[in-house]
Amino acid sequence: MSTRKSSPRSASAFTSASDAYSSLGVNVEAALTTLAATPISLHCWQGDDVGGFEKADATLSGGGIQATGNYPGKARTLAQLRQDLELVYKLLPGRHRLNLHAIYGDFAGKTVERDAIEPKHFASWIDWAQSLDLHGLDFNPSCFSHPLSADGTLSHPDKKIRQFWIDHCAASRRIGAHFGKKFGTRTVTNVWIPDGSKDTPFDRSGPRERLAASLEKVFAEKLNAKHHLDAVESKLFGIGAESYTVGSHEFYLGYALKRGDVAYCLDAGHFHPTESLADKISSVLQFTPALLLHVSRGVRWDSDHVVTLDDPTRAIFEELVRGDCLDRTAIGLDYFDASINRVAAWVIGTRSAQKALLAALLEPAALLRAAEQAGDHTTRLALFEEARTLPLGAVWDEFCRRHDTPAGLGFMDEIKSYEKTVLSRR
Ligand code: RNT
Ligand code: ZN
């Protein structure tokens, strides 16, 4: 199929879509304004299967996470990753962020130990991101793919190994704070560690006590909260850590609540498959000032599939809008699919997240709220079902047009030609 023939919905389709939404009390222009003002933090690790650039041909190892597939065109250098991202940002309406992992520093061929990383190793990323007018940069210590991470990091029984990772995480926070200052927007530095065990442990408490103590050292240095926010990410299990995860949901939620100045990170792949991430948002935000989301799509396990406009994703954004939580939530993506064109994976997943946000902003909220408050659950159900078939696509296409990005499937034309001229030659 040639994508060229599949033209987007027209401007007149937008006019009639607006009428359809207005008749249900929805302000389409207000929705488009909020959508434009909501940055998504794109995860740098989709472009090279979580390899990073510490050394040539670096690959993801350990950590219980996995990118599957070997579609041609993986970015093998920093320059290639940036080139790919330049196309990605061009194909996304709105202004967005980039989420860097520590292993993506510009180390210029030198070995820089993780506990010795500094803002200078990310200076070229700042220049590059500013030249693209990105909204800002976010950051993550990388506590995996390293000889000292094989048997745990911040919870490791060996004090020296723990200290190495404490120093790495502390150094990462300083880099995050530096980003925040440079961009004048708030950088989130998110700590995720893979610590856990394959088989049933005897002692579940010891590693958690050590993790809690390590985190206190990691967060000891006070950084400017205006430009920087710390986050901690929980997890249920990973490959090779099926029986026990030190940084579980209860552990980090408890930790974030106790501290009060650390955001909790909810990753959509990090819960039992029947749990709803969306339902957690309004609970967590009752008691924490801020939330970080890793929008992802787990299929049967924490598989990190590309985000789509599915019901669980829509529900996440509905919660953010209905609960008026957008201001207190940092929205990041977290998936890595190596089985399809990686640039397309970035673009499709981000656009789907944006569409989910748009759909949420276009809900007939006033009518739904009134029906619910009146106890009229019949009308509420009718409204939910009516909303599903409202012309979301026509509004999305208009948003793309206004932001000078291809509407409909137009972005695929550019990706296909990039694949032909750039990716397939790598
Ligand atoms: C792993 C976590 C974590 C990573 C990235 C690479 O299960 O989701 O966020 O995916 O940090
Ligand atoms: Zn995550």
Q: Following DSSP, what letter does each residue of 101-153 receive, concatenated?
A: EGGG---TT----GGG--GGGGHHHHHHHHHTT-SEEEEE---SSSGGGTT-S
Pocket of ligand 1 (CB under 6 A): 45, 50, 65, 140, 192, 233, 235, 267, 294, 302, 334
pLDDT recorded at residue 1: 39
Domain residue spans of the chain: 1-26+365-426, 38-361
Distance 73 CA to ligand 1 centre (A): 22
38-361: what CATH class?
alpha beta
pLDDT digit string, tens, across residues 225-280: 999 999 999 999 999 999 999 999 999 999 999 999 999 999 999 999 999 999 99
Q: How many CB atoms lie within 10 A of CB 37?
A: 11
pLDDT digit string, tens, across residues 54-87: 999 999 999 999 999 999 999 999 999 999 999 9
3-state SS assignment for residue 303: strand
Q: How many CB atoms lie within 10 A of CB 178?
A: 22
8 A C-beta contact, residue 304 and residue 345:
no
pLDDT digit string, tens, across residues 146-203: 999 999 999 999 999 999 999 999 999 999 999 999 999 999 999 999 999 999 999 9
**Exposed, middle or buried: residue 110 (CB in 10 Å: 0-12, 13-18, 19+)?**
exposed
Distance 27 CA to ligand 2 centre (A): 34
Measured by CA distance, the residue closest to atom 11 of ligand 1 is 192
Q: What mean pLDDT is predicted for residues 343-355? A: 98
Measured by CA distance, the residue closest to atom 1 of ligand 1 is 65
Q: Which residue has the tokens 């061009």?
A: 90
Mutate to test the pocket of ligand 1, among 294, 304, 307, 336 (most ligand atoms within 8 A of CB): 294
Measured by CA distance, the residue closest to atom 10 of ligand 1 is 334
Residues linked to residue 196 through DSSP beta bridges, in sequence order: 245
pTM: 0.97
* Residues labelled catalytic: 192, 233, 235, 267, 270, 294, 302, 304, 334
Mutate to test the pocket of ligand 1, among 48, 191, 233 (most ligand atoms within 8 A of CB): 233
Q: Which residue has the tokens 């569409």?
A: 355
pLDDT at 3 over 70: no
pLDDT digit string, tens, across residues 284-317: 999 999 999 999 999 999 999 999 999 999 999 9
Q: What separation, in Å, do the N-terminal and C-terminal C-alpha atoms of the chain show?
A: 25
